[in-house]
Structure 1
Amino acid sequence: MGPQLTSPSTSDLSRDDLFSMLRNERRREVIHYLRTHEGPVDLRDLSEYIAAIENDCEPAAVTYKQRKRVQTALYQMHLPKLAEQNIISYDRRAGRVELAAGAENCLPYLAADTDRKRRRWWRWYLLVAAVVAVPVGLATLGVRPFTSVSGLGYAAVACAAFVAISILQVTQERGRDA
């Protein structure tokens, strides 16, 4: 594959080093992607895949800017770290990446990370905040019928909505972890 960034030693990583590698979602996604693609993959395709996950869209919908942001981070930080630990082989000049022998150490821990398509709860919280903010803003501007509801009424609705979403999130996450 040409000049590569790999560690000369293939010895097992310490548990702390392994967890340090896997604590970053992008590095975990790199390993997941490489596990499902045989042989070397192109850095551009890998970046597009991760950008799609991060932007909650299909890879075809990823913009140049979104892909480039991920690609730069992979190129400068994540891939060299994974290569140092012999988890991947990375040819910087060709932009090609593949799993290395050290990836076997990661697989048992990644098997526990089965639900990678997590609901992005922050979007629901943002939606509730917007739904509450609009009538409050209209009431502040004196628009009828929004002025007929007291501030305490709006506060109660907002609290109830956030409590409901929080309960849904906890219920879903406990069900997933069970």
Structure 2
Amino acid sequence: MDDQDIQRRSEATVAFERSLESLVLERVATALHHVHLPKLADANVVAYEREIGRVERLPAAAQLDPFLELVDDEN
């Protein structure tokens, strides 16, 4: 394997990783838009205006803070 082969493989790997990352981000955005945000809105945790993509945290969301802090501490 020469330097050009290594360069081509490196570029192909980067392109693959970027496309994979893009796919993951798209799936997360879709899940948020169609599943999670509507559920949070139904629970009155957020106000979600799907048409304009607006999300607002509501006072009831404070109930979730201890759980979010636990997740944050683990990362």
Bin of the TM-score, shorter chain as denominator length: 0.5 to 0.7
Runs of 4+ in 1 over 2 A off after TM superposition: 61-64, 108-113
**Residue 98 (structure 1) shift:** 2.3
Larger strand percent: 2
Q: 2: CA distance between counterparts of 1:82 and 1:94?
A: 17
SS in 1 for 2:51: coil
Shift of 1:69: 0.8
By how many angstroms is 1:93 displaced?
0.6
Give the aligned residue type for 1:79.
L
Q: 1:66 aligns with which of 24, 27, 33?
A: 24
CA-CA distance at 1:82 after TM superposition: 0.6
Aligned counterparts of 2:32 and 2:67: Cα–Cα separation in 1: 21
Question: Relative contact order: is structure 1 or structure 2 higher (C-alpha 8 Å, sep ≥ 6)?
Answer: 1
SS at match of 2:37: helix
Instruction: Verify: 1:81 aligned to 2:39, yes or no.
Output: yes
Shift of 1:95: 1.1
Query: Per residue, is there more helix in 1 or in 2?
Result: 2
Structure 1 residue 110 corresponds to structure 2 residue 68? yes
Give the aligned residue type for 2:24: Q
Q: What is the percentage of aligned positions where both structures have the same residue?
A: 38
Aligned counterparts of 2:28 and 2:63: Cα–Cα separation in 1? 25
Q: Which residue of 2 aligns with 1:94?
A: 52
Give TM-score scaled by structure 2 length: 0.61
Q: Distance in 2 between matches of 1:71 and 1:97?
A: 13
CA change 1:66–1:105 in 2 (3 A) is: same
Q: Once superposed, what is the RMSD of the aligned Cα atoms? A: 1.9
One-letter amino acid matched to 2:57: L
TM-score for the superposition, normalised by structure 1: 0.29
